Chain A
């Protein structure tokens, strides 16, 4: 059996998601920026922290008019210990606790971090107080972490943001949400076989034992039946442009650095499905339905779709419409 190809994959929206936060979340985050911890009073009198636009039980709307100050001290209702902080994700670079903390005056708890040297410093019911960042931007991490607090001790002042006067700034209306997820993806059996074929300058298709239809590339089955395409069939590297479009948008593909270019569906000789490919080797206004094309292989073949750089006209007479009309 073919060894499957593996590849690293990262998922990250470039620059981060731009999240508008609306009036309620915005008011809370503005408070954090300005060193205030607030909740919202619900219709039944309970104080919800952190505040949402709705009562979590009844869905009734909440109002910025019902914001009340809470904390700053609070009580740990539960906690878990993080021995190995995740680089680029966690806000502390040393072991810490995640905790559910109920600020004084609130009826619900917020999830945040407690900064103590070891799990031995944590206990349910312990009293904590926020340690504010100096550079606050209007986000939950404006509280760097919570730290142990003894009732009666003075409440430290919130440090001023250097050169920042809240009067000169609007309320927080959005946050940017970053983060990358890393994967290692397996191509699976059929795709690996196809790609390894490309590395040898071959187009390997497959068909199910009970069917004459050849798929190149197969994703593992004949999609009409779900039968595995267990029979390997090599198909030719020539075919018919069934249809196409002319792309005038720059930057969609590094395979096509110059616009305009033609992107076509190509029906390979010996296969029964079409796939997308670039057409080059002629002017874009010469590309037409029925045109016969052949693969332009790279010099340095690899187990990669890019081994076929593009498709170019063979100069043969165009295919008759009847030859490809069932593939449109």
Chain B
């Protein structure tokens, strides 16, 4: 049986902040979900099923929170699924929701991802000390900083490349009222002078810790044709995983990311992502991951990604803007961060990205998420035109 077409017909998100002390967890997810449902011209009762994702439950200390949130999200009497694939979860949650439509099982699916990190502390939640596990000696950034050093060594990238990304994404965030970090005075000097946490990573090279939620309503072709606002058609989705640790693992340019990108490009008819896409929302929690993922995702040859960043190709007015919303470097409710990438890509395609809307030519954009030790990948390509 042929795959059914699927489109994003509604998008909603919270204002992302260090601490959303004004809402409960239910209030947080409902803020995003209600906006998405209204954008889709629907009411709660129109929704067939709910797919929810978030990162480890220990962030908020609520186990399997889909149970507590079921009626908050209008799932009473309906199917509800909870996805958890580490940092890629926001992306994979959206893909599970898309498959519910593409399979023909449902017509209208609400998908939501969230994190309320202010309930605890993300560093604690990500690295609860466990018996028999190797002692952590460097924290979360300490896992990725050595990989970044190896990238810099291999590629010969100048040391300021990461800082360029740190500035660019924060400047983009100034166009996005929902973004957590608004740093109007950000400069290269400011990043260079910020505290050197994990050499080569400085404080402003790293993402914040946020409370926030993202939601989308995905619909079938008939639902999309009746949508009151422009829709973003799903042109391809893909997920790939590889083990955390294995012999001769390429940690800089993981095979799972390469395979995932190739798969989603094949589905979407993308032969050159730099020219065939109008923009990309890519999971960049540490600034240096922009040049690394430019290579992993085929926007540049291996070793050349930093040159795109340096030339301004990924800037807001560049030929292939990356993270016009400000990206993970400006808002990071971990479980939602992937879905924010997917949803922001959809908003660009719909022409509804507001102050951070980029110029659309092909009408296609990419959303990307990754997690674990760069081992879980989720990607989609959305477009303004209905896919063939």
Note whether A and B contact each other (Cβ less than 8 A): yes
Asked if residues A20 and B248 are in contact (CB atoms below 8 Å), the reply is: no
Asked if residues B24 and A20 are in contact (CB atoms below 8 Å), the reply is: yes
Asked if residues B132 and A242 are in contact (CB atoms below 8 Å), the reply is: no
Asked if residues A264 and B146 are in contact (CB atoms below 8 Å), the reply is: yes
B: number of interface residues (CB 8 Å): 66
Asked if residues A265 and B72 are in contact (CB atoms below 8 Å), the reply is: no
* Any B CB within 8 A of the CB of A67: no
Known A-B contacts A19-B119, A25-B24, A245-B201; the reply to A272 vs B73 at CB < 8 A is no
Q: Which residues of A contact B196 (CB under 8 A)?
A: 246, 248
Query: CA A225 – CA B201 in complex, angstroms?
Result: 35
Residue in contact with B24 in the complex, picked from A7, A22, A55, A256, CB distance below 8 Å: A22
Residue in contact with B118 in the complex, picked from A18, A195, A255, CB distance below 8 Å: A18
* Any A CB within 8 A of the CB of B244: yes
Interface centre among A242, A249, A253, A255 (most CB of B within 10 A): A249
* Any B CB within 8 A of the CB of A263: yes
Known A-B contacts A13-B120, A20-B21, A328-B150; the reply to A52 vs B72 at CB < 8 A is yes
- For B146, the closest partner residue in chain A by CB is A243
Proximity string of chain A (222-262) to chain B, C-beta cutoff 8 Å, 1 when within and 0 when not = 11100000000000000000111111110011011000110
Q: Which residues of B contact A23 (CB under 8 A)?
A: 22, 27
Asked if residues A57 and B76 are in contact (CB atoms below 8 Å), the reply is: yes
Proximity string of chain A (6-39) to chain B, C-beta cutoff 8 Å, 1 when within and 0 when not = 0111010110011111111100000000000000
Q: Which residues of A contact B146 (CB under 8 A)?
A: 242-245, 263-265
Asked if residues B137 and A253 are in contact (CB atoms below 8 Å), the reply is: yes
Query: CA A18 – CA B24 in complex, angstroms?
Result: 11
Q: Which residues of B contact A90 (CB under 8 A)?
A: none
Q: Which residues of A contact B150 (CB under 8 A)?
A: 242-243, 289, 328
Asked if residues B137 and A252 are in contact (CB atoms below 8 Å), the reply is: yes
* Any B CB within 8 A of the CB of A54: yes
Query: CA A8 – CA B132 in complex, angstroms?
Result: 11
- For A60, the closest partner residue in chain B by CB is B44
* Any B CB within 8 A of the CB of A220: no
* Any A CB within 8 A of the CB of B317: no
* Any B CB within 8 A of the CB of A174: yes
Stretch at the interface among B94-102, B123-131, B294-302: B123-131
Asked if residues A273 and B132 are in contact (CB atoms below 8 Å), the reply is: no
A: number of interface residues (CB 8 Å): 69
Proximity string of chain B (179-201) to chain A, C-beta cutoff 8 Å, 1 when within and 0 when not = 00000000000000001111111
* Any A CB within 8 A of the CB of B157: no
Asked if residues B247 and A249 are in contact (CB atoms below 8 Å), the reply is: no
Known A-B contacts A22-B24, A264-B146; the reply to A276 vs B76 at CB < 8 A is no
- For B23, the closest partner residue in chain A by CB is A22
The B15-54 residues at the A interface (CB cut-off 8 A) are: 19-27, 30, 34, 44-45
Asked if residues A223 and B24 are in contact (CB atoms below 8 Å), the reply is: no
Query: CA A138 – CA B73 in complex, angstroms?
Result: 26
Known A-B contacts A11-B128, A185-B132, A248-B196; the reply to A56 vs B153 at CB < 8 A is no
Query: CA A217 – CA B132 in complex, angstroms?
Result: 11
Q: Which residues of B contact A289 (CB under 8 A)?
A: 149-150, 153
Asked if residues B24 and A21 are in contact (CB atoms below 8 Å), the reply is: yes
Asked if residues B119 and A187 are in contact (CB atoms below 8 Å), the reply is: no
Asked if residues A223 and B246 are in contact (CB atoms below 8 Å), the reply is: yes
Asked if residues A54 and B72 are in contact (CB atoms below 8 Å), the reply is: yes
* Any A CB within 8 A of the CB of B275: no
Residue in contact with A191 in the complex, picked from B34, B132, B145, B243, CB distance below 8 Å: B132
* Any A CB within 8 A of the CB of B142: yes
Query: CA A52 – CA B25 in complex, angstroms?
Result: 11
Query: CA A253 – CA B140 in complex, angstroms?
Result: 12
Asked if residues A59 and B132 are in contact (CB atoms below 8 Å), the reply is: no
Query: CA A57 – CA B147 in complex, angstroms?
Result: 49
Query: CA A272 – CA B245 in complex, angstroms?
Result: 10
Asked if residues A58 and B247 are in contact (CB atoms below 8 Å), the reply is: no
Proximity string of chain B (90-114) to chain A, C-beta cutoff 8 Å, 1 when within and 0 when not = 0000000000000000000000000
* Any B CB within 8 A of the CB of A213: yes
Query: CA A52 – CA B70 in complex, angstroms?
Result: 12
* Any A CB within 8 A of the CB of B318: no
Q: Which residues of B contact A57 (CB under 8 A)?
A: 71, 76-77
Q: Which residues of A contact B124 (CB under 8 A)?
A: 13-14
Q: In angstroms, how far is the closest chain B Cβ from the Cβ of A110? A: 15
Asked if residues B20 and A20 are in contact (CB atoms below 8 Å), the reply is: yes
Q: Which residues of B contact A173 (CB under 8 A)?
A: 21
Asked if residues B71 and A276 are in contact (CB atoms below 8 Å), the reply is: no
Query: CA A231 – CA B195 in complex, angstroms?
Result: 46
Q: Which residues of A contact B132 (CB under 8 A)?
A: 5, 7, 185, 187, 191, 195, 305
Proximity string of chain A (51-89) to chain B, C-beta cutoff 8 Å, 1 when within and 0 when not = 011111111110000000000000000000000000000
Residue in contact with A224 in the complex, picked from B120, B246, B250, CB distance below 8 Å: B246
Query: CA A134 – CA B27 in complex, angstroms?
Result: 31
Proximity string of chain B (243-269) to chain A, C-beta cutoff 8 Å, 1 when within and 0 when not = 111111111100000000000000000
Query: CA A25 – CA B136 in complex, angstroms?
Result: 38
Q: Which residues of A contact B34 (CB under 8 A)?
A: 61
Residue in contact with A174 in the complex, picked from B21, B134, B251, CB distance below 8 Å: B21
Query: CA A219 – CA B76 in complex, angstroms?
Result: 41
Query: CA A265 – CA B148 in complex, angstroms?
Result: 12
Q: Enumerate 13 A-B pairs (CB-CB under 8 Å) in ascending A order.
A: A11-B58, A20-B24, A53-B26, A54-B71, A185-B130, A187-B131, A242-B146, A245-B199, A249-B139, A249-B197, A272-B248, A273-B247, A276-B136
Contacts beyond the supplied A245-B146, A246-B196, A248-B198: 4 A-B pairs with Cβ under 8 Å = A54-B72, A245-B149, A247-B139, A253-B137
